[in-house]
Amino acid sequence: MEDIFVGIVAMVLGLVPLGAALLNSDWFYGLRKSQWLARRVGRGRARLFHAVIGIALISLGIALVMGFGLYRTTSRSQVNFRPLSRRIHLPRNQASNCRGTTAFIDPTAPGGGDSGGRVPP
């Protein structure tokens, strides 16, 4: 869900420099940082720079909304959201107590097959 939010924010933030570059708006190039760039490289190149930055941010936002991720190894439909269980499945003749030690169950022993928690030699 946060990928979609970040993608939408990136698209909105990309529209600002792209729109300012296309419209050659005085209010945007009247900002101190934009004036600095326009003085250094010229207003035409500053507009080109801001247009490229805007297109890059919009492209990034679209990619994030569509589910692109650099380190994602599975798609969203393949992710298993079930909580992990701490239960360990042992064979039928074994049991585990709360300390994690294994007790072997002897089905021929008196008392219903419980060896009393003793581990056979």
Q: Which domain holds residue 54?
A: 2-69
The answer to whether position 26 is within a domain reads: yes
The answer to whether position 114 is within a domain reads: no
What is the tens place of the pLDDT at every residue in 27-63?
A: 999 999 899 999 999 999 999 999 999 999 999 999 9
Instruction: Look up residue 6 and give its amino acid.
Output: V
Domain count, the chain: 1
Q: How many CB atoms lie within 10 A of CB 50?
A: 22
The answer to whether position 24 is within a domain reads: yes
Share of the chain above pLDDT 90, in %: 45
Burial 58-83 (b: 16+ CB within 10 A, else e): bebbeebbeeeeeeeeeeeeeeeeee
